[in-house]
Amino acid sequence: MTFRDLIIMIIIGGVFVILGIIGFLWGRKEEGSYYGSVSERIDVREFLDHSPGRPEPNALRTGGKISIAVGFVVLLVSLGFYLWGMKP
C-alpha cells in the first residue's frame, strides 16, 4: 500500500464520520419537528406517547451511528498502517 492509498483511506474515513454526524443530527431534527407541537396533532395521545413512532428519524440516527463507527474504524486502520511502516 502506497502513501497515496493511505491518504485516500483517511479521506474516506473522515467523510464517513462527517456524513454520520450529519445523519444523526438530521434524525434528531426530524424527530423534534414531528413531535413539535400539540396544537398540530389530531390525537394528543400520539404526541404524549410518541406512539406510533415514525421509523424515519430513528433510521437516520441509527445510520449515522453506524457511519460514524465505520469511519472511526477506517481511520484507526489507516493510523495503524501509518505507524507500522507506511511512512512516506
The answer to whether 6 and 81 are in contact (CB under 8 A) is: yes
Give the amino acid at 9: M
> Is there a domain that residue 52 lies in?
yes
The answer to whether 71 and 16 are in contact (CB under 8 A) is: yes
Instruction: Tell me which residue of 77, 55, 72 sits closest to 21, measured CA to CA.
Output: 72
Number of domain units in the chain: 1
Query: Which residue range forms the structural domain that includes residue 33?
Result: 3-83
Query: Which of 1-5, 37-41, 50-54 is predicted most confidently?
Result: 1-5
Query: What's the mean pLDDT in 35-58?
Result: 66
Q: What percent of the chain has pLDDT over 90?
A: 42
> Is there a domain that residue 60 lies in?
yes
Is pLDDT at 4 greater than 90 in this prediction? no
> Is there a domain that residue 88 lies in?
no
φ/ψ (deg, to 5) at 87:
-85, 150
> pTM of the predicted model, to two decimals?
0.74
